[in-house]
Amino acid sequence: GAQPVPPPIEDTSMKLVNDAAHPWMPLLPGQQRGPCPGLNTLASHGWLPRSGVATPAQIVTAVQNGLNMEYRRALEVTYAAFLVNGNPLTNLLSIGGLSRLTGSAPPTPALASGLSTHGTFEGDASMTRSDAALGDNHSFNETLFQQIVDISNKVGGGKYNASAAAEVRFQRFQDSVMRNPGFFFSTPRFDTAFIETVFPIVFFVDGRSTDASLDLHVMRDFFQNSRMPPDFHRRGTPSSGSGPEEDMVMNAHDYVPGFNNGSGTCVFLPPPASSSHLVAVNSFVADPNFMGTQTDVLCSLYEKFVNTTRELYPSPQGDLRVALNKNLDNFFIPVSSRCAQIFPFP
């Protein structure tokens, strides 16, 4: 069954987090890792269960303790993910793929299949993971990482900074427009894709550094090996990740939320040079419904995850319904000052 949200952590100061109690350990068979280098790294250092299967409360506490993510952002992201990819009956979520450790699943169409599940939280145009339609959406991809290296060398002076993030985001967007016929880049993905590129600068740079740029070897270790540098200190103030860097990445190029619709007309890019392209690629159009019924971006994201939960659980009964409602209440807590609560299972 569901649990209440954990309290915020008390000590949010800078501190050593790759410490004796949290050594990196290599992956054992059956342990889950997935599309998120933040959670993968926390699991490989034992801030989360090394199995990669955890309760939402464990995740909320671990992202604060291990990387100093702000409490409200931790609640928002974790309960969104838990509602669409977690198992409400056992209160467990896999940070990777489907795992026996999450217990027996609720009836379909519920997924309860972990963060690697495409299309509910995980989405297209990721930094180091392929689009699901084009390959593996959860494993580190060396080709994509080399593109980050190249861009960082060109515009970041050899490091990954906000300027590099802006160009990485645009390159990944363009690549998906041109190669993924089913490319989807509207809510929730439109909201997560920009901040995701800033997270490495905010959370993977050592707290003792005043430099808002990330060494590429350190970046690789987090993204590929789920590993913190020796002596790694978390940042000295909690952060949501939002701020001037995210705005910079969003405003560096023209974006609208939307998707490839197969029409063959694209609002951004010239027609494909080669006729070997599938007809459905390069057909990006704006999504007229990306805000749902909301006017505030945060509330539209909230509404989207609630509506997805409703689709995954058409008529939940008994303990399942109680657990879903508790987790929906938990998900509402971080947005309660801005949004109206939605009750899909009254």
- Site of interaction with ligand HEM (CB under 6 A): 35-39, 59, 63, 67, 69, 74, 77-78, 81, 115, 121-123, 126-129, 192, 196, 199-200, 203
The three-state secondary structure class of 37 is helix
Beta strands in 126-279 (DSSP E): 184-185, 258-260
Cα gap 37→129, rounded to integer Å: 10
Q: Under 8 Å CB-to-CB from 6, ≥6 apart: which residues?
A: 57, 60, 61
Closest CB to ligand HEM among residues 70, 303: 70
Residues 64-123 that bind Mg ion (CB under 5 A): 122
- Looking at beta carbons only, is 134 or 264 nearer to ligand HEM? 134
- For helices 244-251 and 162-179, the axis angle rounded to 10 degrees is 40
Give 237 or 265: the residue with its C-beta nearer to ligand HEM.
237
Find the shortest distance in angstroms from Cβ 39 to ligand HEM.
5
* Comparison of 129 and 159: residue with beta carbon closer to ligand HEM: 129
161 CB-side CA count, 13 A: 12
Residue 66 Cβ vs ligand HEM, minimum distance, rounded to whole Å: 8
Ranked by CB distance to Mg ion, the top (closest) residue is: 126
- Given 85, 126, 282, 327, the residue binding Mg ion (CB under 5 A): 126
Interacting partner of 37 out of Mg ion, ligand HEM, none (Cβ under 5 to 8 A depending on kind):
ligand HEM
By a kind-dependent CB cut-off of 5 to 8 A, residue 96 interacts, out of ligand HEM, Mg ion, none, with none
Stretch that binds Mg ion, among 5-13, 129-137, 300-308, 311-319 (CB under 5 A): 129-137
CB of 270 to ligand HEM, least distance (A): 27
Rg, C-alpha atoms of the chain: 20
Which region, left, alpha or beta, applies to residue 275 given φ > 0 means left and ψ of -120 to 50 means alpha? Answer: alpha
* Sole residue written with tokens 């501190």: 15
Nearer to ligand HEM, 203 or 331 (CB): 203
Rounded to an integer, what is the distance from CA 286 to the centroid of its chain? 22
**Binding-site size, Mg ion (CB under 5 A):** 3
Q: How far is CA 73 from the centre of its chain?
A: 12
Least CB distance to Mg ion at residue 122 (A): 5
> Rule CB under 5 A: is residue 197 a binding residue for Mg ion?
no
* Count helices and strands in the chain by DSSP H and E runs: 10, 5
Of 122 and 167, nearer to Mg ion (C-beta) is 122
Q: Does residue 239 sit in helix, strand or coil?
A: strand
Residue 197 one-letter amino acid: T
Closest approach of Cβ 200 to Mg ion, in Å? 15
Q: Which does 206 bind (CB under 5 to 8 A by kind): ligand HEM, Mg ion, none?
A: none
Cβ-proximal residue to ligand HEM, closest one: 38
The residue among 92, 91, 51, 58 whose CA lies nearest residue 74 is 58
Reading the block at residue 246, the tokens are 């995210």
Gap between the Cα atoms of 310 and 325, Å rounded: 11
> Least Å distance between CB 109 and ligand HEM?
19
Which structure tokens are listed for 80?
């969104």
Of 209 and 263, which CB lies nearer to ligand HEM in the complex structure? 209
Q: What are phi and psi of 80, to 5 degrees?
A: -60, -50
- Pick what 188 binds: Mg ion, ligand HEM, none; C-beta below 5 to 8 Å, kind-dependent: none
Binding interface with Mg ion (CB under 5 A): 122, 126, 129
